[in-house]
Structure 1
Amino acid sequence: MPTVHPVATPPAPGDPSAPAVGAATALLDAYRPGARFLATPTRTLLADGVRTVVPTGDSPLADRVRAALADAVRDGDPWPVVMGAVPFDHEAPAALVVPASVHDGPPLGTDPLVALDPTAPVTGGWSVTPVPRPEEYAGGVAAAVRRMRAGELDKVVLSRTLELLSPEPLDLPSMLGRLARRDPGGYTFALPTGPGRTLLGASPELLVSRRGNRFVANPLAGSTPRSADLAEDVLRAATLLRSEKDLHEHGVVVDAVRRAMAPYCSELHVPERPTLVRTATMWHLSTTVTAVADDPELCALGMATALHPTPAVCGTPTDTARRVIEETEPFDRGFFTGVVGWQDASGDGEWVVTIRCAEAQDRRLRLFAGAGVVAGSDPEAETAETAAKFRTFLQAVGAEL
């Protein structure tokens, strides 16, 4: 029977009880390649082994997950969870499992030890190849802008990659530790996605979470790089809040989230204006959407699949944006701009947009970054935005563009 090791019960939002010091960082430090790690603002999960692989099939993914969890409950598992990743392409197979054992701890952001400086990466030695080259990416953005001005679509998210080759074996635990400690209040993950492959990253964006019949979505769209100079950093944040281009881009995404959630919800609250979310490297426009579901059986992943992909990672209209992505990007996104997360047998869980991430295999890392392109986009500015987004991972491994 699978074993659950509760390190500490995560407090409910607003609960002043303090979790044990070191409980969350102990799970972070215990991660080893092949395990599954996920840190969110509500809990830290470290899982080992595989009890059940969620199978492929024609039935909805959420139904297959529900069946796998129900089997685990019947076998006597007191708290089975599914963990893993869903790809950008909804027709591609997911990498979801019910682990053999799960260690459940409090959030990293509540652990004072997360503030300790991580081991610095060894710099140098990386071979870095951009795919496509920056000028080719800018050309793709310019072509997409022309199609928008011709009325073909409203928005598309175009991405590029960096292929990194290390002279030494990859130290995934150290990379994960640096990612988590830089943004402990976000969503940090390391998840196997195939033989010898690991998806790891630190995403700022919650696609949707469920607790009881209450759902929360937090779309992010519209970004600007942080500055090391405090005055300049504040100016950039204020400018982002007033940017017509970024507010339009953000509004497209929020409206799509509202329309996707509305058929399932008796109550839906969407703030009129966005706020700001910051990471170590970026400012983002952010809107927190809250809803109450009509159907108590609607699970977190069920709502996530209804939302995915949002215009924050694809575009609008969705089918047209997908076609432009396929025609423009010279690579398969795989799990990038997909979804990572967890869900338990009650249907509660958290599913996160898979950005600020890389795929690791052997001595190679493939980094991904994208930018939302609208009719008012400047190709050079969008290229610079993707370069800024690469910084999250580049700094974690000691590499440079």
Structure 2
Amino acid sequence: MSTPALVRPTPVHRAADLLAAYLTGSFYFSSARGALLADGIHTRVRADAGGYAPAAAQAMQAARAAGVADPVVAGAVGFRPGARADLVVPTVVRRAGAPAGAQAPGADAGTAWTVTPRPEPADYADAVGRALELIGGGDLHKVVLARCLELTADAPVPVPALLARLVQADPAAYAFAVDVTAPGDPAPRTLVGASPELLVSRRGATVTANPLAGSAPRSGDDATDRERIARLLDSAKDLGEHAHTAAQVADVLGGFCVDLEVPPRPEVIGTPTMWHLSTRITGRLADPADPASSALGLAEALHPTPAVCGVPADRALSAIVDLEAEDRGHYAGLVGWTGPDGDGEWAVTIRSAEVCDRTVRLFAGAGIVAGSDPEAELAETTAKFRTLLRALGLGDVA
């Protein structure tokens, strides 16, 4: 009588365990859909003439043939066309359900920080004024201008603790940590953040995008916040800015979908620091088997949206190069994962920072349209910095 084959149960992980197991150099991504932790590098994915999606599909097929149990492509792509991408097929992938709120490890209150704004706040306001001149001249409808804070600590910044604080402060956010170490870096470099904005998600033939544009700081006072939400929903400037973004996302997805549902008006969603106008767009793919219709392929087609670039995109990109003091790097790019069936989830890389040893570089941007006020846009970027600054144990610093 033959001995029955031993069947090993599929490991079941908890989201908290995956977060606790994260080490600098791993890939971590979590959202309300679930958590994913990946380690090791089986293959690095390089773009071919068709972009990253076809190369990703081939890399996952080869990895599966080589014995990788759960091949996915995971990582981040920078903002500008041709920007650096850090996409890999990991060796080992662990999955869990969605994270829950919990007591996060406190930031080290004894850390001493040096803060360098790039550019200085007054210079950022001047750049907004120059953008308004371009908009007034008819060259642009909208451009998103970002600014940078470079923070230097008196000791290396512990990325796992920073990630844990971000996840536990807002479990519904698209939280991530990606190794983006570049040649010449003195230590590992990690892109880490908690984005509120879904670029695109795919499950089977169903795709979802959730563009955000039009924002207000969250005050923490219920009455004040109700007033701010009402103003957002009644603001011609913010509604117009949002309409540009939602229309472009719907137009791109319409080229891949046979059915598309676009709500007629946005709603307001909140994070611990901000309120955002939000439109949740859903569709059904015409050809789910096409690599261009994979989650990564759709993300490439959508990027950059007007929420992080502008309208029209080519002129907005030129204005960003001319007016921003710092190269964005991975900020305002895309971060996430795709599986061999095309399913996956990609977020817009905002509320993020790059951490390398004692240095933290974070960016925040604001959408500039006709009627924008330079000081108000400066204040909006200050509010958007709070997600990372709070996780680092800092208040408003610029």
Q: TM-score, normalised by structure 1?
A: 0.92
Matches within 5 A, 1:159-174: 159-174=146-161
Q: Secondary structure at the match of 1:151?
A: coil
Pairwise CA distance, 1:244: 1.1
Rounded to whole Å, the distance in 1 between the matches of 2:259 and 2:329 is: 34
* Structure 1 pair 6–236 and aligned structure 2 pair: CA distance change class (3 A): farther
Q: Secondary structure at the match of 1:174?
A: helix
Pairwise CA distance, 1:242: 1.1
Pairwise CA distance, 1:123: 5.2
Rounded to whole Å, the distance in 2 between the matches of 1:370 and 1:59 is: 30
1:391 paired to 2:383: no
Pairwise CA distance, 1:140: 0.5
Q: 2:105 aligns with which of 118, 121, 126?
A: 118
1:380 paired to 2:367: no
Q: Secondary structure at the match of 1:175?
A: helix
Q: Secondary structure at the match of 2:79?
A: coil
Q: 1:338 aligns with which of 333, 336, 339?
A: 333
Pairwise CA distance, 1:121: 3.6
Q: Secondary structure at the match of 2:255?
A: helix
Quote the residue 1:143 is aligned against.
130
Rounded to whole Å, the distance in 2 between the matches of 1:54 and 1:88 is: 17
Rounded to whole Å, the distance in 1 between the matches of 2:48 and 2:278 is: 35
Quote the residue 1:271 is aligned against.
263
Detail structure 1 runs of 4+ shifted over 4 Å in the superposition. 4-7
* Structure 1 pair 123–323 and aligned structure 2 pair: CA distance change class (3 A): farther
Query: Structure 2 stretches of 5 or more lacking a match?
Result: 1-7, 183-187
Q: Secondary structure at the match of 1:107?
A: coil
Higher deviation after alignment, 335-344 or 142-151: 142-151
1:45 paired to 2:32: no
1:36–1:190 contact (8 Å) kept in structure 2: yes
1:85 paired to 2:80: no
Rounded to whole Å, the distance in 2 between the matches of 1:117 and 1:52 is: 34
Pairwise CA distance, 1:60: 1.7
Pairwise CA distance, 1:336: 0.4
Q: Secondary structure at the match of 1:256?
A: helix
2:48–2:54 contact (8 Å) kept in structure 1: no
Q: 2:233 aligns with which of 234, 241, 250?
A: 241
Higher deviation after alignment, 308-317 or 124-133: 124-133
Q: Secondary structure at the match of 1:88?
A: coil
User: What percent of counterpart residues are identical?
Assistant: 49
Quote the residue 1:17 is aligned against.
none
Q: Secondary structure at the match of 1:194?
A: coil
Query: Structure 1 stretches of 5 or more lacking a match?
Result: 9-19
Pairwise CA distance, 1:147: 1.1
Please give the root-mean-square deviation of Cα atoms over the aligned residues, in Å. 1.5
Quote the residue 1:101 is aligned against.
92
Number of paired residues? 381
Quote the residue 1:16 is aligned against.
none
Q: Secondary structure at the match of 1:181?
A: helix
Pairwise CA distance, 1:118: 3.2
Pairwise CA distance, 1:7: 4.8
Q: Which amino acid aligns with 1:32?
A: L
Rounded to whole Å, the distance in 2 between the matches of 1:232 and 1:282 is: 13
Rounded to whole Å, the distance in 2 between the matches of 1:187 and 1:121 is: 24
Q: 1:131 aligns with which of 101, 113, 118?
A: 118
